[in-house]
């Protein structure tokens, strides 16, 4: 099952891999992390989401980008895996802080080019709007980077419909990455997910199975367990199949720090939910 990234002409497997758990605190060792990435690729995953800020702190910036790009080179799969990265956050003393100044984004992009070992980034996403910087200035920097060929496509993350509209006045947007899962359906109910479809923008749900400790909550949701029992699959696979049912422009990126997790997630494409099952899950956020 393939899905196009916006109007970029790039098609990828319908379930991607979120790289963050491989590089933040309590991350697995490098050998194990590489094994997770390899398992993802072997399961058909050819879209991996990373960010310069997926690391422990500012002294560790780019850890996730380097880990993934080096592993893909070792596997000789660089050419067939689309690596999407992000800029716009910093990690002082391990905190997550927004920094959307044009100067920061230009410098962050240059660092990411080195970390990824490429001359042009396939998809570069603005990690989060910075209220201390005019949004237009941040997007303008990305538009310039695209014009220079340093990035091929622009994406947004943690944004509203107004942000999308504003960004589109300066540069084509191929993706929007926001938090979305069965218990967090704000973007579905507000119409933002459908709005992305009308604009030809891929909607990338992050934390699609809860994220962090949230996955433990989803595991215990009775409706997901019951539906999973009927399909002989995990509640997580049901949660991903539900997201996939929301449109051909939806590309969930479950994070994984275990081989078993990503191999299970990739099999969500084989689960077809009934209209009644989808309605049951829709009601979980009531």
pLDDT, tens digit, for every residue of 23-38?
Answer: 999 999 999 999 999 9
Q: At what angle do helices 135-147 and 102-116 cross, to 10 degrees?
A: 40
pLDDT for 214 equals 78
DSSP code per residue over the chain: -EEE-TTSS-EEESS-EE-GGGTSTTPPPHHHHHHHHHHHHHTT--EEE--TT-SSSGGGTTHHHHHHHHHHHHHT-GGGSEEEEEESEE-GGG--EE---HHHHHHHHHHHHHHHT-SSBSEEEE-S--TTS-HHHHHHHHHHHHHTTSBS-EEEES--HHHHHHHHTTS-EEEEEEE-BTTB-HHHHTTHHHHHHHTT-EEEEESTT--TTHHHHHHT-HHHHHHHHHHTS-HHHHHHHHHHTT-TTB----B-SSHHHHHHHHGGGG----HHHHHHHHGGG-
Structure tokens that stand for 109 in this block: 């992009």
Q: What's the rounded Cα separation, in Å, for the pair 196 and 201?
A: 5
Query: Rounded to the nearest 10 degrees, how much is the dihedral formed by the CA atoms of 50, 52, 55, 58?
Result: -170
Q: For 169, phi and psi rounded to 5 degrees?
A: -75, -15
pLDDT for 16 equals 98
- Tell me how many degrees the CA angle 231-237-243 measures, rounded to the nearest 5: 110
pLDDT for 213 equals 75
Q: What's the rounded Cα separation, in Å, for the pair 123 and 83?
A: 7
Q: CA gyration radius for the chain?
A: 18
What's the pTM value of the predicted model, to 2 decimals?
0.97
Q: What's the rounded Cα separation, in Å, for the pair 16 and 47?
A: 5
Structure tokens that stand for 107 in this block: 């410098």
Query: Rounded to the nearest 10 degrees, how much is the dihedral formed by the CA atoms of 188, 224, 259, 19?
Result: 20
pLDDT for 215 equals 80
pLDDT for 212 equals 76
pLDDT for 117 equals 97
Q: What's the rounded Cα separation, in Å, for the pair 255 and 273?
A: 22
Count of all residues that appear for the chain in the document = 286
Q: What's the rounded Cα separation, in Å, for the pair 246 and 248?
A: 7
Structural domains for the chain: 2-213+243-267 (3.20.20.100)
Low-confidence residues of the chain, pLDDT below 50?
none
Q: What's the rounded Cα separation, in Å, for the pair 193 and 247?
A: 9
pLDDT for 216 equals 83
What is the tens place of the pLDDT at every residue in 158-212? 999 999 999 999 999 999 999 999 999 999 999 999 999 999 999 999 999 998 7
């Amino acid at each position: 099952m393939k899905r196009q990234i916006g109007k970029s002409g790039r098609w990828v497997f319908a379930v991607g891999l979120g790289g963050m758990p491989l590089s933040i605190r309590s991350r697995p060792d490098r050998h194990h992390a590489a094994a997770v990435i390899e398992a993802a690729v072997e399961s058909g995953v050819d879209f991996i989401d990373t960010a310069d800020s997926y690391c422990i702190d500012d002294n560790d910036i780019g850890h996730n980008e380097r880990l993934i790009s080096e592993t893909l080179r070792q596997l000789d799969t660089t050419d067939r895996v689309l690596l999407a990265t992000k800029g716009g956050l910093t990690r002082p003393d391990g905190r997550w802080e927004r920094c959307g100044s044009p100067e920061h984004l230009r410098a962050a992009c240059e660092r990411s080019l080195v970390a990824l070992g490429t001359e042009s980034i396939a998809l570069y996403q603005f990690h989060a709007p910075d209220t201390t910087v005019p949004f237009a200035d941040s997007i303008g920097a990305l538009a310039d980077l695209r014009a220079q060929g340093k990035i091929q496509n622009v994406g947004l993350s943690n944004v509203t419909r107004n942000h999308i509209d504003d960004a589109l006045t300066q540069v084509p947007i191929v993706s929007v990455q926001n938090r979305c899962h069965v218990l967090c359906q704000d973007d579905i109910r507000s119409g933002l997910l459908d709005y992305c479809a009308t604009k030809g923008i891929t909607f990338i749900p992050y934390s699609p199975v809860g994220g962090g400790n949230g996955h433990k909550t989803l595991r215990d949701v009775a409706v997901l367990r019951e539906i999973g029992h009927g399909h002989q699959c995990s509640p997580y696979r049901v949660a991903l199949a539900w997201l996939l049912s929301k449109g051909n422009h939806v590309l969930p990126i479950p994070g994984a720090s275990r081989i078993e997790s990503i191999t299970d997630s990739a099999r969500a494409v084989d689960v077809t939910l009934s209209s009644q099952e989808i309605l049951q899950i829709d009601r979980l956020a009531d």
